[in-house]
Structure 1
């Protein structure tokens, strides 16, 4: 028998909810159960082999995390042995543990069980999809793509678990901007007088307690969030707003000390799908620390998951990534977008969407389109029905139902005829490539002759006027730098007619006259 555990109210970190088989309804009867608990404890097998004896628990090496609302539990009987399993899709299972009994009755009581773990607090569980396990597949372990929710700072066990800073526009005008917090400690946290600061401001009310393993959402428009998502654990409103380009959110304790800080951005390496495409930012790898962009990912589904865990929902489509684009061309060369299957099995792409506007499904991949394992597939601008913007934009790959952005790439202005792609194929970094290769393995990254060779960012004089950046041409031919610009950190456009000879150097200074006075060997560029 199997069931999906949609969610639980966290009465205590040690709550139990799951499938149980009992010999009798007596309090100390023999039993076996596949259960899930709080996010801290995850899923495990529990059994009492002897009536009146102590119950024992078992779990696979490394544990099996709770994945609400996609926590699947299964209990199997074979003769005198009862075995518990857990999974995330109702098809593939990991064994939690097993118990072999002696003289176990042929007739058992089977049902859904919930135990609070706290005699003073009620626990509830929502079970769905109860029924027989059909063609189950057992595997040694599942490779979750994210870390379990846990502390991201040594300063506190509280975490920012989700941030919706740029919700997709809605026809009803409801504001779904929010920040979600989670108590990753093993005990409750009294948040009385704690506050959010940065680009928003909110003070938690006196007496507000967040239990271990519980979420709370702080929203710009609490009633809008409650109505759209059907949740109740929402506070607010906060003042201010979460900027759509780059913003800061801090958590301060009741003494004003900063306990958490996130400085997010809509630019790479931050996930592009969270910037107006419907997804939220979720803390996927807390071990990096909450202010590291590598710690964050786009939510599994558009809309995010406020007030609940962001469950892993496996799909074969997640193996397919955007792998190469060419966005600046002249006829007869055409813009193109290339897909790559990083997985080991063929994937059906029928109905998937490629677009440069998350609100418009501009191109649907034709029915029957299949991408072999480690295979490539490219669509040019004529097939897509739209060209890419050479000045820069974002390209999205969506699933057929448009419920999730499978992959997205945001790029800036592109040089004519120079492709941008992952190298090696399927890897995280996007690089300018030596050659465009639509439908084939990417070439190595393009080696740029001009490099940033030296930076003086903190002069010993403590005078910012002594700052400079040096460029160097490592190539064998001169490079025309007319119109080249520094766009991040400093803002400067190199004047028309500036040429950097082979092996030459060019210094861009905060104060050119002062730099020449300090370094008389320099000449005027």
Structure 2
């Protein structure tokens, strides 16, 4: 019980407790076992816990016994459990880990345990969580104030969820809430409550006799839940929403389900979305689906494409953005130009008057733009902004790219709602990409994938980041990053077949081999190894998705030569990552005839 409510004449912090349970078949010797992370406590000699037995240690014995009359405490610990979440571990006398949990006070951890009267309990005490931060192994207690030193009552209730919420509408649309029954049995929800306040659950009462069929949906709109003395409205600026189980007499029966959402564009609903990890998020949907299965999340016009959050390998911390919309995107409210886009989590507000063009990247960095360009190259077409105050958290945090909505009046004051365009909730633990080297930079591998999903990300090909390069990029994106606006006016010089920097290498070659269009790279080498045949090495960028490589052979040059593509007569025998976003490929083939010639051809996929 990490955040109990105050009561019985004591502050909430004095009413904390930690319960230990032996789910095994043998007694456990706790002599000298200790907590040293989160709270401090050492078990005295001869302490043991029999199979199926509970024990409780507390913050304040007098406070605990006042609230939980008749329940014995095995000791008082020093310190307090963090209401925001922390790591708590129990070790045996030799220092071996017995149990650890790294709980949090926000979704997907049960928020009912965060000051709302419930404790945090294992769903199945006989099973160890898969990881210390495995939220799915925990739930809020069935009983108010928990059930210390005794088994947790089971919840024999069909667990309906809040599945979609429409909060920002103009007539003829009205705000609405959709419930979903993901189970295989009918859910009788007559008498249940919906509320926008956990501490005041009995607001809108679902009519008696209401039910949700297996895998079915139940929709109620503000015409129903917004009337009467206990009616409420949905806040278009964002708020929490709760569902509470109750019997037909209105008595709460222990189950609750809560969601939280932010501001949204007019007519855009939020829906429950399941990540690859099994966690759920309420996200803006690409279309409203009230009464039916949710569709994919709405994809913002600008996405976060790279985060270099731990620059201990060298270079400078930054966040890279990419305009994937195909249109110019103004980074401010057209009607209120002083209200600009921002990155929440960095406390960075974009300067006024900026527009990001199609395929253009922006980099927001911790240092002056001139310092950044000196280190990473000119990046002629990339908008480099900064510096921002503070630093990205190396352990992970939520980064939200947000745009301003129209100002509103709240309690007589002007309020500017901000709408999430793209959100990344990265961390330094699996399933997020984990670096085995110094530093950590992650790149988005799926530009149309959901930014909060770890499956959309991978470690960067470059240890110190790769601004100006994006996984699966096209020639158009590369051209926009490495040529200035003035350069792009010279259309004939920036097409793939031209040689902008006049170094003898076409723009397409420099793109395909990891160049910038302004820097000459050694791209191809040929040798004749012992035993005959030939070997050819070529540097190839790992980022493009639209480059086609072709190997051609001929037995003569000039008019008499006939070039043929012979894919099967040359194979890549080695691939070596170079650590800079490219790889070195060595091809090996047989000499054909008395004299053979070969060439490497490049083209772009249509």
TM-score using structure 2 length: 0.53
Structure 1 counterpart of 2:272? 422
Post-superposition, which runs of at least 4 consecutive aligned residues in structure 1 deviate over 6 A?
A: 424-427
Conserved? CA contact 1:251–1:259, under 8 Å:
yes
Conserved? CA contact 1:165–1:242, under 8 Å:
yes
Q: Aligned ranges for residues 336-347 of structure 1 at < 5 Å?
A: 336-347=176-187
Alignment partners' CA distance in 2, 1:283 and 1:512: 49
Conserved? CA contact 2:120–2:139, under 8 Å:
yes
Alignment partners' CA distance in 2, 1:521 and 1:166: 52
Q: 1:193 to 1:485 in 2, by over 3 A?
A: farther
Tell me whether 1:304 sits opposite 2:146 in the alignment: yes
Q: 1:348 to 1:289 in 2, by over 3 A?
A: same
Conserved? CA contact 1:222–1:235, under 8 Å:
no
Please state how far the C-alpha of 1:508 moved relative to its aligned partner. 1.4
Q: Which runs of 5+ in 2 are unaligned?
A: 226-230, 333-339, 386-606
Q: Of 307, 317, 334, which residue of structure 2 is paired with 1:455?
A: 307
Q: SS at 2:372's partner residue?
A: helix
Alignment partners' CA distance in 1, 2:287 and 2:16: 42
Q: Of 348, 351, 357, which residue of structure 1 is paired with 2:191?
A: 351
Q: Any idea what the Cα deviations from partners look like across 1:116-140, whole Å, max 9, x if unmatched?
A: xxxxxxxxxxxxxxxxxxxxxxxxx
Q: Of 206, 209, 212, which residue of structure 2 is paired with 1:365?
A: 206
Alignment partners' CA distance in 2, 1:405 and 1:173: 27
Alignment partners' CA distance in 2, 1:244 and 1:287: 21
Structure 1 counterpart of 2:89? 250
Between Structure 1 and Structure 2, which shows a larger proportion of strand residues?
1
Q: Any idea what the Cα deviations from partners look like across 1:424-445, whole Å, max 9, x if unmatched?
A: 8999443321123333433332
Please state how far the C-alpha of 1:470 moved relative to its aligned partner. 0.9
Q: SS at 2:40's partner residue?
A: strand
Structure 2 counterpart of 1:516? 373
Alignment partners' CA distance in 2, 1:341 and 1:427: 17
Q: Of 305, 312, 325, which residue of structure 2 is paired with 1:475?
A: 325
Q: CA RMSD in A?
A: 3.0
Structure 1 counterpart of 2:216? 375
Q: SS at 1:288's partner residue?
A: coil
Structure 2 counterpart of 1:443? 295
Q: 1:260 to 1:391 in 2, by over 3 A?
A: farther
Q: SS at 1:241's partner residue?
A: coil
Structure 1 counterpart of 2:350? 494
Tell me whether 1:506 sits opposite 2:354 in the alignment: no
Alignment partners' CA distance in 1, 2:139 and 2:329: 39
Alignment partners' CA distance in 2, 1:336 and 1:172: 42
Q: 1:165 to 1:369 in 2, by over 3 A?
A: same
- Of structures 1 and 2, the one with the larger relative CO (CA 8 A, separation 6+) is 1
Structure 1 counterpart of 2:244? 398
Q: Which runs of 5+ in 1 are unaligned?
A: 1-163
Conserved? CA contact 1:231–1:307, under 8 Å:
no
Q: Of 233, 236, 241, which residue of structure 2 is paired with 1:387?
A: 233
Q: 1:412 to 1:444 in 2, by over 3 A?
A: same
Conserved? CA contact 1:283–1:290, under 8 Å:
no
Q: SS at 2:86's partner residue?
A: strand
Alignment partners' CA distance in 1, 2:60 and 2:317: 45
Please state how far the C-alpha of 1:505 moved relative to its aligned partner. 0.9
Conserved? CA contact 2:8–2:67, under 8 Å:
no
Q: Of 123, 132, 136, which residue of structure 2 is paired with 1:294?
A: 136
Q: 1:247 to 1:487 in 2, by over 3 A?
A: farther
Please state how far the C-alpha of 1:174 moved relative to its aligned partner. 6.8
Q: SS at 1:251's partner residue?
A: strand
Q: 1:357 to 1:222 in 2, by over 3 A?
A: farther
Q: Aligned ranges for residues 105-116 of structure 1 at < 5 Å?
A: none
Q: SS at 1:515's partner residue?
A: helix
Structure 2 counterpart of 1:122? none
Conserved? CA contact 1:481–1:500, under 8 Å:
yes
Q: 1:414 to 1:299 in 2, by over 3 A?
A: farther
Q: Any idea what the Cα deviations from partners look like across 1:127-180, whole Å, max 9, x if unmatched?
A: xxxxxxxxxxxxxxxxxxxxxxxxxxxxxxxxxxxxx22234547657442222
Q: Any idea what the Cα deviations from partners look like across 1:380-426, whole Å, max 9, x if unmatched?
A: 23422212234433211111122423311123444443211124899
Alignment partners' CA distance in 2, 1:295 and 1:369: 31
Q: 1:441 to 1:291 in 2, by over 3 A?
A: closer
Alignment partners' CA distance in 1, 2:47 and 2:255: 36
Structure having the higher Rg? 2
Tell me whether 1:323 sits opposite 2:163 in the alignment: yes
